[in-house]
Amino acid sequence: MPDNIGATAKSGVVELSDLEVRYGDFQALQRTNLKIESGEFFSFLGPSGCGKTTLLRTISGFQSPTLGQVKIGGIDMRAAGPNMRPTALIFQNLALFPLMTVAENIGYGLRVRGVPRRDRDVTVSRLLDIVSLLGHGAKKIQELSGGQKQRVAIARALAVEPSVLLLDEPLSALDLKLRQYMRAELRAIQRRIGITFIYITHDQAEALAMSDRVAVMNAGRIEQVGSPRSIYSAPETPFVASFVGENNIIRGRIKRFDGTEATISTALGDFTGRAAGNLHCDQPAAYFVRPEALTPYQPSHETCFAGEIVEILYEGNSSQVTLRMPDGEKLIARSVTSMTASPMLGERLRVGCNRADGIVMAIEGSHP
């Protein structure tokens, strides 16, 4: 019975061990080991088709793993279907029941558990309060606005007192303003009730803004797990470096590696930066530097690039300048407007950064 598992798995620790999902020949999820702590706001970030939805469906029980196991609160979930797990899923399209009222929607999980109507009503009105929808209980789903529907879906999921709440891009259908508001709202609700949130998104801003930790996924594999800050500032793989935020990429070969720093030799010269992982000489590699790290050149800069300005995009608080480098490749620099003495198209510009701003990473020939 769902209650039993729910009761013994009150802790929302989610452990994935050697988890693998295959559809025929297609490997949707490669071998994954991960532990998500109880009460954590954890996001899976990746492009569509990267396997994040498969992973979410595997945790919620809609998808059975080909190999490995999912443990929630220390209990193996192999035999438990979605209705037996201490998880609740918020669907991308919300999947509210259109023939039921708001209150009936929220109370549904309790109804199927045989909770008497009176107790149900108490829980429902408490939840309506939590999601600030008091007084909307008798409404039909069609009468609600997008944001209200969102909150009904959250309340409905919370009604069954899950130890883990799974969210499948629930904000993607909302407009920008509402999305930003709901981000804060979600984070606040999570803090208030303190259960594990597992959030799936392709929107890096969402993932970075809300999460305690983020896992970046690509082609069925988790590339990097870490705090939003470390994901952004210390990407460990070329994919993470180029998917999360923008990055300039300059290809070359490793010339020197001392364990923490590496020097790469490229068509534009040699550059030194932090080394990501273990490198060895003459390996194909790339130098990554974020556009906002590049500022107009000052003598104190340890690295310097010079090129012709081919494009200027004014963005209000900053502008984005595209330079064409001597080898024909483009380099993007973004800086606070006041610091750029209004450069002109066609001018030559020198920009620079420090060693700590650049990262040297091994790449395979085909990688971006």
| CA separation for the pair 77, 9 (Å, rounded) | 10
Size of the site for another protein (CB under 8 A): 35
Interacting stretch for another protein, rule CB under 8 A, among 80-88, 174-182, 244-252, 286-294?
A: 80-88
Say if residues 156 and 121 touch (Cβ distance below 8 Å).
no
User: Residue 26, SS3?
Assistant: strand
84 vs 249, which CB is nearer to another protein? Answer: 84
Burial classification of residue 304, based on how many CB atoms lie within 10 Å of its CB (0-12 exposed, 13-18 middle, 19 or more buried): middle
Q: Does 109 bind another protein (CB under 8 A)?
A: yes
Residue 157: which residues within 8 A CB-CB, separation 6 or more?
Answer: 88, 89, 90, 109, 165
Closest by CA position to 104, among listed 144, 141, 131, 133? 141
CB of 153 vs another protein, minimal distance in Å: 9
Site for another protein in 237-276 (CB under 8 A): none
Choose, by CB under 8 A, the member of 47, 74, 81, 368 that binds another protein. Answer: 81
Choose, by CB under 8 A, the member of 41, 42, 44, 108 that binds another protein. Answer: 108
Choose, by CB under 8 A, the member of 82, 146, 226, 296 that binds another protein. Answer: 82
- Binding pattern to another protein, positions 32-71, x when CB under 8 A? ----------------------x-----xxxxx-x-----
| CA separation for the pair 117, 119 (Å, rounded) | 6
CB of 112 vs another protein, minimal distance in Å: 4
Q: Does 337 bind another protein (CB under 8 A)?
A: no
Choose, by CB under 8 A, the member of 4, 25, 79, 142 that binds another protein. Answer: 142
Closest by CA position to 206, among listed 152, 166, 169? 169
Lookup result for tokens 């039993």: 4
Closest by CA position to 89, among listed 46, 121, 57? 57
Choose, by CB under 8 A, the member of 56, 88, 361, 362 that binds another protein. Answer: 88
Interface residues with another protein (CB under 8 A) are: 2, 23-24, 28, 54, 60-64, 66, 81-84, 87-89, 91, 93, 95-97, 99, 108-109, 111-113, 140, 142, 156-157, 159-160
